[in-house]
Structure 1
Amino acid sequence: MNTPHVVVVMGVAGTGKTTIGPLLAARYGVPYAEGDDFHPPANIAKMSAGTPLTDDDRWPWLDAIGDWAHGRAGLGGVVSCSALKRSYRDRLRAAAPGVVFVHLTGDRALIEDRMSHRQGHFMPTALLDSQFATLQPLERDEAGVAVDVAGSPEEIGERAAAALDALSEPTP
């Protein structure tokens, strides 16, 4: 990326947003914000209990992430946020025009396996089905890239950075 963008690392739970986000932030020399930290305690409690969030639960969370992204406009930053629906991404773009999305994608079995091995996270694997049911992949008119999560974090980070860099290159 030639100019400082705010990058939203998105995808269903377990794709590695919290792992890949800091790798991208370090590569570009910008701050990283963990999207889960923007959730109110009630959302964390709901997800911990295995209850999917509603849109009404998500709006204040998305607004808080959008406020952070807006504050980083022109400076750059990376934030993780599931951003599963187009309407969620539209809300983030309304708060911070120019955000770019990195959609971490992958095989459901791989993602579930990774989720089952992580320690200390509130999101149970039982919610993975609801995440996939809610997911609306990036559309052609949305600034962003899709990156497969197969491989090591370093390999995924390199693919994501290469895809972001390609977005910034002028077309001949």
Structure 2
Amino acid sequence: MDTPHAVVVMGVSGTGKTTVGVLLAEALGVPYADGDDFHSAHAIARMSAGVPLDDADREPWLDAVGRWAHGRSGRGGVISCSALRRAHRDRLRAAAPDVEFLHLTGDRALIERRTAEREGHFMPAALLDSQFAALEPLEGDEAGVAVDVSGSPREIAERAVAALRRPED
């Protein structure tokens, strides 16, 4: 991570994208943005009603997240965004070519428990199945790293910083 760029913290609901994203941004000394803040009222209403978003619902959201990431090029930033499918990440890369992904991943039972325990979030635990079904993990040609979500948020963020800062192979 020699050149400041945007890091998209991705993964299914309940992996800690927001919590880890805030800690990661703090550790890197860059701004944080919550991708949920970029959703339209229509998309939030659909998810709140337990209706999974389709790609037509996601496109304006991904474009807004991509614009934010592009605006952080050369300055750095961290934003949370599920970015579950390769096509979603490709759309983000089209807007911000130097974006890097941090895929928060882990044991499904742990993620389900964390999702069920969460309060005050519009994304119901019932939509977790649709997120796991849509998830396409990072591929070898994508800039990014995967980090396990076991442990405390601070431990996860520390592993993320170490993984993102490792020298290029």
Relative to the length of structure 1, the TM-score reads 0.97
Letter in 2 for 1:4: P
* Aligned residue number for residue 37 of structure 1: 37
What's the offset of the Cα at 1:63? 0.1
1:124 and 1:108 map into 2 onto residues whose CA distance is 16
* Aligned residue number for residue 93 of structure 2: 93
Return 5+ residue gaps in structure 1 as ranges.
none
Give SS of 2:136's match: coil
Q: Closer, same or farther in 2 for the Cα pair 1:4/1:57, shift >3 Å?
A: same
- How many residue pairs get matched? 169
Q: Closer, same or farther in 2 for the Cα pair 1:49/1:170, shift >3 Å?
A: closer
* Aligned residue number for residue 76 of structure 1: 76
What's the offset of the Cα at 1:118? 1.2
Q: Closer, same or farther in 2 for the Cα pair 1:170/1:58, shift >3 Å?
A: closer
Letter in 1 for 2:117: H
Letter in 1 for 2:126: A
1:85 and 1:139 map into 2 onto residues whose CA distance is 11
2:51 and 2:30 map into 1 onto residues whose CA distance is 34
* Aligned residue number for residue 10 of structure 2: 10
1:170 and 1:57 map into 2 onto residues whose CA distance is 36
Q: Closer, same or farther in 2 for the Cα pair 1:170/1:51, shift >3 Å?
A: closer
Could you give the per-residue CA deviations for residues 17-57 of structure 1, whole angstroms, max 9, x where no partner exists?
Answer: 00000111011111000000000000000000000000000
How do 1:19-168 and structure 2 match up within 5 A? 19-166=19-166
RMSD: 0.7
What's the offset of the Cα at 1:5? 1.6
1:53 and 1:119 map into 2 onto residues whose CA distance is 21
1:30 and 1:137 map into 2 onto residues whose CA distance is 26
Letter in 2 for 1:140: G
1:170 and 1:113 map into 2 onto residues whose CA distance is 35
Determine what percentage of the aligned residue pairs are the same residue: 72
What's the offset of the Cα at 1:2? 2.5
What's the offset of the Cα at 1:170? 4.5
Letter in 1 for 2:111: I
Relative to the length of structure 2, the TM-score reads 0.98
